[in-house]
Copies of this chain bind each other. A is one copy, B any other.
């Protein structure tokens, strides 16, 4: 159940702005499959173009972090926000980019550990150490 209509391929073909983004997604990913996220965003071509452009710039263009590391970070944020759709889609994406079961297990362990120590720091309202300003302290 969704709060918005998901666009079919026929509807996409009839709208040049939406079609251009879908074509670029297919070309970039080298796959015919377009997931529901984009079929929902198609209702707002501005949002569709803006979101795909940001993903191209941040996730796909070469950068300082490798593609798999980026997906692991994405999964971590999605889990912390309790976004079921996003955990599913980005776990699938990470596997497609080579995430091994051991890496997945370690990712999930870190997410759980961070959630635990986040809760400790918040429940105890621990004051930030002035030493962290300098950014030179190991953990």
- Shortest A138–chain B CB gap in Å is 4
- The size bracket of the interface on A is 35 or more
Whether A47 and B120, one on each chain, are in contact in the complex, defined by CB atoms closer than 8 angstroms, is: yes
Q: How many copies does the complex hold?
A: 6
**Which residues of B lie under 8 Å from residue A65 when comparing CB positions?**
72, 103, 106-107, 110
Majority SS at the chain A contact face: helix
* Complex partner residue of A59 from B75, B110, B122, CB under 8 angstroms: B110
Given contacts A80-B76, A96-B136, A101-B43, contact A112 B108 (CB under 8 A): no
In the complex, the answer to whether A63 meets B106 with C-beta atoms within 8 Å is: yes
Which residues 34-77 in A have Cβ within 8 Å of B in the complex? 35-37, 40-41, 43-44, 46-47, 50-51, 54-55, 57-59, 63-65, 69-77
Most B-side CB within 10 Å, residue of A36, A87, A105, A116: A116
Q: Residues of B contacting A102 with CB < 8 Å?
A: 63-64
With A and B bound together, what is the CA distance between A116 and B114 in angstroms? 8
Assembly CA distance A117 to B44 (angstroms): 14
Q: Does A113 contact B (CB under 8 A)?
A: yes
Q: Which of B30, B87, B127 contacts A122 (CB 8 A)?
A: B87
Interfacial residues, chain A to chain B (CB-CB below 8 A): 1-4, 6, 29-31, 33, 35-37, 40-41, 43-44, 46-47, 50-51, 54-55, 57-59, 63-65, 69-93, 95-97, 100-139
